[in-house]
Amino acid sequence: MKKNKIFVMGSYVTDLTARASHLPKPGETVFGQSFRTGAGGKGSNQAVAAARLGAEVTLVTKLGDDAFGKLALEHFTKEQIDTSQIAIDKEMPTGSALIAVDDQSENMIVVTAGACGKIKREEIEQAEEKLADVAIALTQLETNLDAVERTLELAEKHHIPVILNPAPYQAIPNEWLKKAAYITPNETEAAQLTGIRLETEEDARLAAEKLYQMGVANVVITLGKKGCFLYNEEYKGKVFPGLIMDAVDTTGAGDAFNGGLAYALANEVELIEALQFANIVGALAVTKEGTAQAMPTLAEVETCLKHSLLEVKS
């Protein structure tokens, strides 16, 4: 395994974002205040988050042979992400995400996976040499699930720890959970995985304990601006408070957290400090508009770390 090297298998979609005073109700048309396009998708966003912090990132995804796909490759090159394992689909279009953001920075998202929903197992296998040479792997559930399964299998084969971000939620076999060293659901995803509705800290503890008993070594439930909750063999439930920031756009906060966690763990940072680091990466991301373009640099995170007074709650 190589320090500072990360393997990301996941989605790329082009974000099509409109801002409006409020989010539309079913059947309602809302006048927007602004519109923009940008790079998105959980796999892409998390890869960018880690790369901006300074990690050497290899991304496995699939793009359409279209204008959005060409823009994606330009984007990854600019962010210094290894694109050698990105496949091009001659038939399917590049994925897209329709995003609405209101004046309170809340959002609604509709994702059409497109090409990245058709990643073949053999395309993961072609990247096996890259996967075998990293410190940590990171994947999500925004692609077709057989691609996630093959990533988990190959990571296990080469003893590479995996962060599984189970987002957006899809039902997955419990055996997959046992192959992940870390799982990072948000409150909604934790509830969907466990059947336990999360309304209190005790609910988070019960859900995290259930995931731990299902075979995940380290359960990290992200709690938005409240921070994150850890449950593992050593810590039977510990809250890491978030950093309260003036939010402009919360869309990419979870992806920033996961990219930040992967970066810290790939650089041999202890889990306790890695979670505090990831909380700050996520908090800084909400202070700017957009997803990938909002990901902070290492210098920004280090400045924030020096001035933060975050404490661990037992």
Mean pLDDT within 189-202? 95
pLDDT band at 311 (very low <50, low <70, confident <90, very high): very low
In single-letter form, the type of residue at position 63 comes to: L
Give the model's pLDDT for residue 270.
96
Residues forming the active site: 255
Question: What is the dihedral sign for C-alpha 252, 256, 262, 263?
Answer: positive
Arithmetic mean of pLDDT over the chain: 93
CB atoms within 10 A of CB 34: 10
What are the tens digits of pLDDT across the range 139-191? 999 999 999 999 999 999 999 999 999 999 999 999 999 999 999 999 999 99
What residues does each domain of the chain span?
Answer: 5-24+34-307
Paired residues of 163 in beta bridges: 138, 182
Q: In sequence order, what DSSP letters do the residues of the chain get, joined into one string?
A: --TTEEEEE---EEEEEEEESSPPPTT----EEEEEEEEE-HHHHHHHHHHHHT-EEEEE-EEESSHHHHHHHHHHHHTT-B-TT-EEESSSPPEEEEEEE-TTS-EEEEEE-GGGG---HHHHHTTHHHHTTSSEEEEESSS-HHHHHHHHHHHHHTT--EEEE--S-----HHHHHT-SEE--BHHHHHHHHS----SHHHHHHHHHHHHHTT-SEEEEE-GGG-EEEEESS-EEEEEPPPP---S--TTHHHHHHHHHHHHHHTT--HHHHHHHHHHHHHHHTTSSSSGGGPPPHHHHHHHHHH-----B-
Annotation: binding site: 13-15, 41-45, 142, 186, 222-227, 249, 251, 254-255, 279, 285, 288, 290
What are the tens digits of pLDDT across the range 18-61? 999 999 999 999 999 999 898 999 999 999 999 999 999 999 99
Tokens coding 106: 């809340």
Mean pLDDT within 99-109? 87
* Cα–Cα dist 103/279, whole Å: 23
Annotation: binding site for ATP: 186, 222-227, 254-255, 279
Query: What is the percent of the chain with per-residue pLDDT over 70, rounded to a whole number?
Result: 97
CATH of span 5-24+34-307: 3.40.1190.20
Question: What is the dihedral sign for C-alpha 229, 235, 237, 238?
Answer: negative
Question: What is the dihedral sign for C-alpha 58, 155, 93, 14?
Answer: negative
Give the model's pLDDT for residue 121.
97
Give the model's pLDDT for residue 312.
40
pTM here is 0.91
* Cα–Cα dist 56/184, whole Å: 22
* Cα–Cα dist 7/124, whole Å: 11
Give the model's pLDDT for residue 248.
81
Annotation: binding site for K(+): 249, 251, 285, 288, 290
What are the tens digits of pLDDT across the range 237-293? 989 888 878 888 777 899 999 999 999 999 999 999 999 999 999 999 988 877 888
pLDDT value at 194 more than 90: yes
Tokens coding 35: 């519109």
Give the model's pLDDT for residue 129.
97
Query: What is the percent of the chain with per-residue pLDDT over 90, rounded to a whole number?
Result: 80
**Higher pLDDT, residue 172 or 311:** 172
Give the model's pLDDT for residue 1.
61
Annotation: binding site for substrate: 13-15, 41-45, 142, 255
